[in-house]
Chains A and B, each alone.
Chain A
Amino acid sequence: MVFYPLTQSRSKGTVDEKGLPLNLVNVKNLRSFTLRVDFEDIRYPYEALSQTLHTITSPFFSEFVLEVGRVFATREPTHGACRWWGTWTELDKMFEKLAMERGFRVVIRAENLDREPNLFSQAENRLPLMAARKGIVFEIGPFPEK
């Protein structure tokens, strides 16, 4: 897995290449899982994210939230970086299966789309099965404090 050189990074993220992905087998009542990523890092957590989501056994799991945020102020903007967030086919199938079972939905939330105006259409391309089921919810605005 390629790890993006994060400027000013002191600690690795949650699902980094060295640390193990979260194991959520024992969380029996999990309803929602949220992952915050940088616009330009969307492709990188896929592998670890996939492993984490596959450990979820909760029968109540019904929402995956992808919060896409801004990059560091010090980093030069790279327009169109989201084009390279790879294929999410495997997760798409998993999400669709959950959607058939329990009305699962994917929420893609961005504070604004200045950096990546095509984010939502790209998400639909990456998750075509969920998009066909209208199981993707797009939200723009400040991230809610849950």
Chain B
Amino acid sequence: MFAAKQSDLTPAQRAHTRRILWLLLAYVIILPPLVWIRSTTSVAGYIPALMAIAASLPVLGIFASWGRYLSVERDEYHQSVALRRIAVATNATMGAAVVWGFLQAFGVMPLIEAYWVPFVWVVIQGAFGCTAMFSRGRIAA
């Protein structure tokens, strides 16, 4: 089944999937030691800032990979589906960020780390992808 799904992918989608998997692997490898070093040792100066930026690089790579995918995808249908997916995820995420932001500003909700915003974006992207995959499966069945 996975092989059949793989063959359905365009070359650009395969390259994008490969990039995302490598970036997620890099994220999983990089993050735990950085968190451990930060919590157990007292590094000073610009090193903690470099550590924080290093932790965020794989996530930035994921956004860059989406941009790369959109520029190299030759199948207009797949490109428009990806654009729609990004538009839905961005609108929902920005909507959530602005509502949460005003709740924070008026002291009704607590302040949270900003990386929850991209986290919400990725989750909505994933949910959209799963919905599309299952609906395709139902049509194929």
- A associates with B: no
